[in-house]
Amino acid sequence: MKILSVFGTRPEAIKMAPLVKSLAGTPGITSAVCVTGQHRSMLQQVLDLFEINADYKLDVMTSDQTLNGLSSRLFAALDPVLDAVKPDRVLVHGDTTTAMVSTLAAFHRRIPIAHVEAGLRTGDLSQPWPEEMNRRVADAMCDLLFAPTASSKMNLASENLAGRIFVTGNTVIDALRLTTERISRDDPLRHRLDQHFSYLRKDRKLLLVTGHRRENFGAGFANICAALAELSRRPDIQIVYPVHLNPNVQEPVLAALSHLPNVHLIEPVDYLLFVWLMQCAHVILTDSGGVQEEAPSLGKPVLVMRNVTERPEAVAAGTVQLVGTDTARIVGAVNRLYDDDSAWYESGHRRNPYGDGLAAQRIVAALTGAIVDEFSVETP
């Protein structure tokens, strides 16, 4: 069976890497990889780290791209790849424009499609942000749906979709596990990571920040920056913020924060460095989906700068709190976690609701028709 995996952004690459590795080692499967380059440089960092050689590297990104422009370049670039590979199945991931367009491109050619990280829903279609629609469009056209959690399976089941659904856990936990194991067994690597962040002080607690969502462009990022400026005045804080390359993020963040002591604005770092930063963090402040999923495995509290999430499991488990982008609310939530160690907890002792590191194994089992032992947070 020939399987073509298509992905284009950093988080997709991180989450597909364990699966691409597993597929490459599975007898009877020929695996091909096509990267669309929706986030070119950040994607390459992940491919290098996981030693993945893409068979097809498309170059669809332009500066200031519109979603329609990106979609049309993707359709035009993907069709010849489908023609050349003639896959028996296409694998897509998540909720990006790459996922939505590659699903539709494969569907038009009647190629069966499997969706990894299927079934996430905010339930809110009134917003103009593309992610929710991208996932719905992708899910509707797949015959195999790999839901990370039982509640994402329920979302799919309630939509009466045609695809068969398996609860697999999220492959991001596989990627995280591979990476933390690599860090923990390699003393020289840990020393290098420590040296890389030698500016971090032992007497200050690290607030790790990331942000990239369209819904926060403009007023949202202005408020976030105001909150970080205020928080940077705490004597016990140091802030590290790998700033996303999107100009809608870079410009306001660099203008507002680059002059502040205790605020380290850095380029996006590769996954190994980022996992190390998460391990060092006291609190993580983010609008990222992947970071919300990873942090429970590391026992770190996450404040999410959004008003809705398609990942309710972590909110229910107490590892994630939604704080929106109101300046005073962000400042208040961070201060609380810094001032009172007992303000956060339980979750570090609980099992991660997003996975156990075996998602890729389950997905490969489903793809090859083997019995799938589904992920459940209840069973050991």
Which residues form the catalytic set?
95, 117, 131, 212, 214, 244
Is residue 300 within the footprint of ligand UDP (CB under 6 A)?
no
Does the protein bind ligand UDP through residue 216 (CB under 6 A)? no
Q: Does 360 bind ligand UDP (CB under 6 A)?
A: no
Which residue number, 16 or 330, has a Cβ lying nearer to ligand UDP?
Answer: 16
Looking at 60-68, 113-121, 264-272, 330-338, which segment touches ligand UDP (CB under 6 A)? 264-272
- Looking at 9-17, 101-109, 117-125, 317-325, which segment touches ligand UDP (CB under 6 A)? 9-17
Q: Which of 57, 12, 16, 11 is nearest to 34 (CA)?
A: 57
Which of 268, 299, 318, 348: binder of ligand UDP (CB under 6 A)? 268
Q: Does residue 10 bind ligand UDP (CB under 6 A)?
A: yes
Nearer to ligand UDP by C-beta: 117 or 161?
Answer: 117
* Site size for ligand UDP (CB under 6 A): 16
CB of residue 211 vs ligand UDP: minimum separation in angstroms? 8
Beta carbon of residue 12, minimum distance to ligand UDP (angstroms, whole number): 8
Task: Tell me how far apart the alpha carbons of residues 198 and 238 are, in angstroms, rounded to a whole number.
Answer: 13
| Interface mask toward ligand UDP for 134-173; x: CB under 6 A | --------------------------------------x-
E strand or H helix at 207: strand 205-210
Q: How far is the CB of 160 from ligand UDP (least distance, A)?
A: 27
Residue 299 to residue 280: CA distance in whole angstroms: 11
Binding positions for ligand UDP, 184-213, rule CB under 6 A: 210, 212
93 binds ligand UDP (CB under 6 A): no
The smaller minimum CB distance to ligand UDP, of residues 17 and 113, is found at: 17
Report how far residue 333's alpha carbon sits from residue 206's, in angstroms, rounded to the nearest whole number. 15
Q: Is 242 a binder of ligand UDP (CB under 6 A)?
A: yes
Listed residue (78, 127, 83) closest to 98, CA to CA: 78
DSSP type of residue 261: T
Q: What angle do CA 233, 293, 137 make, to 5 degrees?
A: 120
Quick check: 220 binds ligand UDP (CB under 6 A)? no
Q: For residues 163 and 242, which CB has a smaller minimum distance to ligand UDP in the complex?
A: 242
Which range touches ligand UDP (CB under 6 A), out of 227-235, 282-290, 303-311, 315-323? Answer: 282-290
Query: Beta partners for 205?
Result: 237
Return the residue of 169, 252, 290, 357 that touches ligand UDP, per CB under 6 A.
290
Residue 294 is a binding residue for ligand UDP (CB under 6 A): yes
| Residue 280 neighbours by CB distance under 10 Å | 17
* Contact pick of 7, 274, 354, 375 for ligand UDP (by CB under 6 A): 274
- Binding to ligand UDP by residue 132, rule CB under 6 A? no
- Any residues with CB less than 8 A from the CB of 180 and at least 6 apart, and which? 275, 279, 297, 298
With CB under 6 A as the contact rule, which of the stretches 81-89, 198-206, 290-298, 343-351 interacts with ligand UDP?
A: 290-298
Backbone conformation region of residue 270, classed left if phi is above 0, alpha if psi is from -120 to 50, else beta: beta
Helices (H), 65-149: 67-85, 97-108, 131-140
Name the one residue in this structure whose structure tokens are 């705490």. Answer: 234
Enumerate the β-bridge partners of residue 303: 285, 321
Q: Does residue 361 interact with ligand UDP by CB under 6 A?
A: no
The CA-based dihedral angle spanning residues 368, 75, 44, 12, taken in that order and rounded to the nearest 10 degrees = -50
Contacts of 275 (CB under 8 A, 6+ apart): 176, 179, 180, 183, 294
Rg of the Cα trace of the chain? 20
Chain residues in the site for ligand UDP (CB under 6 A): 10-11, 14, 172, 210, 212, 242, 268-269, 271, 274, 288-291, 294
